[in-house]
Amino acid sequence: MNAELLRNEYFEKLDMLFEKNLLNKKALDHLQRRGLKVIDTLTDLGCPNLAKVLPHVVIGASDSFVDRMCVPYQATSFIAAEAFAPNSGVYAFKLLGVKGGGVTILTGGSRKLGDNVFASLHRMILGNNAIIVTVNNMMENHGQIWSWDFFGNHLKPDYPIIYDELLSLSKRLVKGDNFYFVISIRSLESVSRSGFLDFYKRNEIAMLDPKNRQKVIIMTTRSIYEYLSSVVKESELISYLKTGDDDFDVYEGLRMLRRNYEIKYLLNDGGRKMSESMRDAGLLAEERITLEPFNPATLGYPIDNSCILGKSGLGLDKSELEKALLLNSTKIEADEYANVYVYPLDESKIFYS
């Protein structure tokens, strides 16, 4: 499907949703102004084997729209599997009491080709300048640096040609001297609960290990900065972004990321709670989600409301995500779908005044 056809179908869908009173005029005008961007993985990226798996990457805003924003264009990345029964229309993104949320159980025992390709490309394209995480989320994987090959390495044994294309693409798209991990720290309680300082003193946090030469921005309050900076000192690799004195102001922090660091695109990898708070503030633009079919093995683990990513019918267009609409869906293998959803942004916040 070519880019022009994708655009036409999307705008026709917006008009249809408005006519059915599923989208109000304000949201319609906003989404029409935003437009979309389509990247062809063959002609634009030069990756013929990747293109057989995922022909295009769709972003829910044009370049000109993003250029006008005073905050980064923010996207997330999740995987979710149908829960409870086939055709239930309920999708879980984690299992309770399982390390790492039980992703390999959700995906049927192994990491799937489609998700690894989808997630790798997402990190390179929308996360090639910066990735934001919470301190708690970072500490769950403190021994790893969350680059594209966090997913891409799963492709090496069975899909070496696709891996090689991703590796070559990463060298073109991701520049280490202009790439940042942003660690969001809202409270001293989260510092204590996560064990952040103890692990840092033992040099066990990969992205803060000087030998890895990773640039890190710690987004926090002035009071937490004063507490942390005597141990986690500012350097050529570590900088602090202070959003306020005692109260954490994520909106001001995002404005500073755009203004001070020229971060136009930001991949939010801080977990479901953080992404939903950004969404409710009108600051989250889109979500990339790989939807997996039901796997009977999940019945052996508890799943409660905190595990549920979405349910069919919740979206503005009756798709799966509350307050979102489905921008694009690509079938990859069997019943695996690479989906991109968009949220209306708050234009009173996202543009320079």
Q: List, for residues 174-204, the tens digit of each pLDDT value.
A: 887 889 999 999 999 999 999 999 999 999 9
pTM of the model: 0.94
The pLDDT of residue 114:
85
Asked if 159 contacts 151 with a C-beta cutoff of 8 angstroms, the reply is no
Instruction: Please tell me the distance from the alpha carbon of residue 56 to that of residue 42, in angstroms, as a whole number.
Output: 8
- CA dihedral (282, 151, 118, 17) positive or negative: negative
pLDDT of residue 150: 80
Instruction: Give residue-wise pLDDT tens across range 311-353.
Output: 999 999 999 999 999 999 999 877 899 999 999 999 999 998 7
Indicate the average pLDDT of the chain.
93
Q: What is the pLDDT of residue 103?
A: 87
d(CA 205, CA 131): 16
Burial class (CB in 10 A: 0-12, 13-18, 19+), 29: middle
- Tell me the percentage of the chain whose pLDDT exceeds 70: 99
Contact assessment for residue 267 and residue 131, using Cβ atoms and an 8 Å cutoff: yes
pLDDT of residue 320: 97
SS (H, E, C) the chain: CCHHHHHHHHHHHHHHHHHCCCCCHHHHHHHHHHCCEEEECCCCCCCHHHHHHCCEEEECCCHHHHHHECCCEEEEEEEEEECCCCCCCEEECCCCCCHHHHHHHHCCCCCCHHHHHHHHHHHHHCCCCEEEEEHHHHHHCCCCCCCCHHHHHHHCCCCHHHHHHHHHHHHHHCCHHHCEEEEECCCHHHHHHHCHHHHHHCCCCHHHCHHHCCEEEEEECHHHHHHHCCCCCCCCCEEEEECCCCCCCHHHHHHHHHHHHCCCEEEECCCHHHHHHHHHCCCCCEEEEEEECCCHHHHHCCCCHHHEEEECCCCCCCCCCCCCEEEEEEECCCCCEEEEEECCCCHHHHECC
Q: What is the mean pLDDT of each run of 10 residues along the chain (353 residues)?
A: 86 97 96 96 95 94 97 96 95 90 86 87 92 92 82 90 95 87 94 94 94 95 95 96 92 96 94 94 96 93 95 96 96 88 97 82
Query: What is the predicted pLDDT for the residue at 141?
Result: 83
Length reported for the chain:
353
- What is the pLDDT at residue 84? 96
- Residue 1 has a pLDDT of 57
